């Protein structure tokens, strides 16, 4: 039922979305090339071919897969834990005013502190290894997801709850049949933001004396002035981020296609 | 109306409502008393902010009066009840449910489950001529269609009193006319007790047996006008001289209140 963006139908030669993606990609390649030849930026932007050549090199060194899997374990477990804690806390905050009034300021306070700042404290408390990594990611994703879900639940259209009530719905009915489905879009948005935060927190999380990991490797390559593989790793993180985001968007489209407008 | 005692459905007894706001208390309703009898169609008109919706919410049990009491079937209203159905201006359809499942929601709450609920839901949709859209989501419907579904859903709950809060207020003139006619037709058939809020004087006269004019804040009942135009009515009723008379009278009263609001 939705129309295309305004102006989209005017041009006679409509470029399909897939083509735009390709154009965007090619433009990025050109920009990358320019950066790799400009004297000011050539040192931090080795050219595409040089960078890609590092892929087999890193595989041969036996670190690439280890780094990716190690990071994914930290990201997924931290994110999973963060979600499992955020969901009930967000609902409690939306449901009970005292809970909200006490916890919301905490979240707002901690959320603005860069994770890198409290990493040393986590290491002191939890030692080195997998544990502190998961703790840092759990904390960061929890904060983002909790606030997002809570904001969504308190903004549920009150008329829907009223409508259910006048039709004879009990509190339980309202929770299961109104609050839960009405919150689903916000929960999915929270998952998307949480996944992104998990990745952006990776470097901080892996500065806790990790043995492997994308973030840890970037730091160690940096210390060795190995710019080319470093850039490769940065790109890998970006690619993982896009893949995760696309998967979640696919999920969103399947589960919340009933929505009137789509969030960005 | 004939002198014989009619079945009292809803009684509003000296109801006042005061809201506590940041700028101090706001008096929404002051000492409102009103009887709604079975099979009656009552319309309430008045300037915005005159407490029409507050009154409806009190009857629905969604709000409690600050003083005074409201009764339905001689029982004090202390909360919502399925004998009182509500149609909201903003449709209030569940966007994650299809049209059919929205209607089934009402049936499920009444204890009708499964295939029986589905069959019955389709019957209610047929009455509003939307059975073809049973599997559509609300976002795929126009405003008029959405409100038809909401009306079907309210009927599916089988209430004794239908409370309608400016149900056609958000619709374009043409759709509004159409839904008015449909509602009239339905009411002439089943005569379900109806308490209908509107700011459209023509709509009120066309539909109601009694039009209640409310005054500007604090909301009080200013006048109750009996609409002595016989049913069946239709859009042509609006051309009758009596309609014009009633319209001029009610308009004048409502307009005075509008001016009051602007002061």
pLDDT in tens, B183-206: 999 999 889 899 999 989 999 999
* 8 Å CB contact between B146 and B91: yes
Decide if A167 touches B, using CB distance below 8 A: yes
Q: Is residue B249 in some structural domain?
A: no
- Indicate if B4 and B78 belong to the same structural domain: yes
Element (H, E) at B25: strand B24-37
* Helix pair angle (A130-154, A97-111), 10° resolution: 130
Please state, in angstroms and rounded to a whole number, the distance separating the CA atoms of residues B250 and B247: 5
Which residue, A26, A81, A63, is CA-closest to A221?
Answer: A63
Domains of chain A listed by start with CATH number = 52-255 (1.10.3720.10)
- Indicate if B76 and B167 belong to the same structural domain: yes
Which structural domain, as residue segments, surrounds residue B129? 91-158
Please state, in angstroms and rounded to a whole number, the distance separating the CA atoms of residues A256 and A77: 25
- Indicate if B149 and B188 belong to the same structural domain: no
Task: Give the CATH number of the domain where residue B28 resides.
Answer: 3.40.50.300
pTM strictly above 0.90: no
In terms of DSSP bridges, do strands B84-87 and B161-165 run parallel, antiparallel, or are they unpaired?
parallel
Q: B6: left (phi > 0), else alpha (psi -120 to 50), else beta?
A: beta
- Looking at chain B from residue 221 to 240, which residues have their Cβ under 8 Å from any Cβ of chain A? none
Which residue, A250, A143, A132, is CA-closest to A194?
Answer: A143
Residue A41 CB contacts under 8 Å (≥ 6 apart), including other chains: A35
Residue B230's CB is within 10 A of a number of other CB atoms, namely: 8
Higher pLDDT, B261 or A3: B261
Please state, in angstroms and rounded to a whole number, the distance separating the CA atoms of residues B107 and A164: 12
Q: Is residue B258 in some structural domain?
A: no
- Indicate if B188 and B231 belong to the same structural domain: yes
- Indicate if B169 and B231 belong to the same structural domain: yes
Q: Is residue B251 in some structural domain?
A: no
Weakest-pLDDT range from A56-60, A172-176, B11-15, B256-260: B256-260
- Indicate if B18 and B113 belong to the same structural domain: no
- Indicate if B33 and B13 belong to the same structural domain: yes
Element (H, E) at A28: helix A17-37
Length reported for chain A:
264
Q: Is residue B231 in some structural domain?
A: yes
B211 forms bridges with which residues in the sheet? Answer: B43, B225
pLDDT in tens, B75-94: 999 999 889 999 998 999 99
pLDDT in tens, B107-117: 999 999 989 99
Decide if A255 touches B, using CB distance below 8 A: no
Total structural domains in chain B? 2
pLDDT at A39: 87
Which residue, B76, B84, B67, B39, is CA-closest to B193?
Answer: B39
Low-confidence ranges of chain A (pLDDT < 50): 1-3, 8, 263-264
Residue B29 CB contacts under 8 Å (≥ 6 apart), including other chains: B15, B16, B17, B51, B54, B55, B58, B65, B218, B219, B220
Please state, in angstroms and rounded to a whole number, the distance separating the CA atoms of residues A191 and A264: 14
Q: Among B62, B84, B137, whose Cβ lies nearest the Cβ of A162?
A: B62
- Indicate if B45 and B59 belong to the same structural domain: yes
pLDDT at A1: 43
Q: What is the ipTM of this complex?
A: 0.88
In terms of DSSP bridges, do strands B193-197 and B41-45 run parallel, antiparallel, or are they unpaired?
parallel
Minimal-distance CA residue of chain B relative to A256: B96
- Indicate if B213 and B169 belong to the same structural domain: yes
- Looking at chain B from residue 146 to 175, which residues have their Cβ under 8 Å from any Cβ of chain A? 153, 157
- Indicate if B154 and B204 belong to the same structural domain: no
pLDDT at B216: 86
- Indicate if B71 and B181 belong to the same structural domain: yes
- Indicate if B152 and B169 belong to the same structural domain: no
Residue ending a domain, choose from B116, B141, B158: B158
* Predicted confidence (pLDDT) at residue B125 exceeds the cutoff of 80: yes
Q: Is residue B254 in some structural domain?
A: no
Higher pLDDT, B2 or B206: B206
Count of helices and strands (H, E) across chain B: 7, 10
Q: How far is CA B43 from CA A41, A221, B161, in A?
A: 74, 77, 13
pLDDT at A9: 52
Q: In Å, how far is A162's CA from the nearest CA of chain B?
A: 7
């Amino acid at each position: 039922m939705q129309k295309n963006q305004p102006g989209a139908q005017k041009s006679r030669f409509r470029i399909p979305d897939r083509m735009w993606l390709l154009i965007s990609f090619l433009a990025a390649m050109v920009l990358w090339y320019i950066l790799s030849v400009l004297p000011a930026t050539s040192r931090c932007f080795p050219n595409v071919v040089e960078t890609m050549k590092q892929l087999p090199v890193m595989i041969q060194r036996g670190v690439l897969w280890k780094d990716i899997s190690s990071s994914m374990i930290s990201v997924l477990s931290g994110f999973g834990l963060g979600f499992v804690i955020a969901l009930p806390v967000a609902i409690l905050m939306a449901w009970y005013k005292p809970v909200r009034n006490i916890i919301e300021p905490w979240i707002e306070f901690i959320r603005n502190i860069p994770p890198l700042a409290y990493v040393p404290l986590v290491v002191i408390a939890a030692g080195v290894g997998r544990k502190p990594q998961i703790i840092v990611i759990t904390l960061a994703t929890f904060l983002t997801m909790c606030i997002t879900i809570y904001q969504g639940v308190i903004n549920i259209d009150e008329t829907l709850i009223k409508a259910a009530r006048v039709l004879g719905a009990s509190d339980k009915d309202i929770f299961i049949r109104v609050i839960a489905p009405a919150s689903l879009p916000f929960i999915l948005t929270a998952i998307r933001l949480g996944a992104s935060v998990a990745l952006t927190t990776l470097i901080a999380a892996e500065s806790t004396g990790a043995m492997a990991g994308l973030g840890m490797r970037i730091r160690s390559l940096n210390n060795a002035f190995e710019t080319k593989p470093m850039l490769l790793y940065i790109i890998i993180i970006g690619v993982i981020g896009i893949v995760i985001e696309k998967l979640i968007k696919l999920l969103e489209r399947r589960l919340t296609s009933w929505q009137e407008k789509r969030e960005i | 109306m004939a002198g014989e005692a009619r079945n009292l459905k809803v009684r509003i007894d000296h109801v006042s409502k005061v809201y506590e706001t940041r700028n101090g208390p706001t008096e929404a309703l002051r000492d409102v008393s009103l009887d709604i009898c079975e099979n009656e169609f009552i319309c309430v008109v008045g300037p915005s902010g005159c407490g029409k919706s507050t009154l409806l919410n009190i009857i629905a049990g969604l709000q409690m009066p600050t003083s005074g009491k409201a009764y339905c079937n001689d029982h004090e209203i202390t909360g919502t009840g399925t004998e009182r159905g509500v149609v909201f201006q903003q449709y209030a359809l569940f966007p994650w449910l299809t049209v059919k499942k929205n209607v089934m929601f009402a049936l499920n709450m009444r204890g009708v489950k499964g295939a029986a609920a589905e069959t019955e839901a389709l019957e209610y949709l047929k009455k509003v001529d939307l059975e073809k859209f049973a599997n559509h989501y609300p976002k795929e419907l126009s405003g008029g269609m959405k409100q038809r579904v909401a009306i079907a859903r309210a009927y599916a709950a089988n209430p004794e009193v239908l409370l309608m809060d400016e149900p056609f207020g958000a619709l374009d003139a043409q759709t509004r006319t159409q839904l008015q006619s449909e509602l009239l037709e339905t009411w002439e058939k089943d005569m379900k007790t109806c308490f209908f809020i509107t700011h459209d004087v023509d709509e009120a006269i066309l539909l109601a047996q009694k039009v209640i004019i409310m005054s500007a804040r604090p909301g009080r009942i200013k006048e109750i006008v009996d609409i002595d135009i016989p049913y069946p009515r239709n859009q042509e009723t609006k051309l009758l001289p009596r309609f014009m008379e009633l319209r001029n009278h009610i308009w004048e009263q409502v307009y005075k209140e509008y001016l009051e609001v602007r002061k």
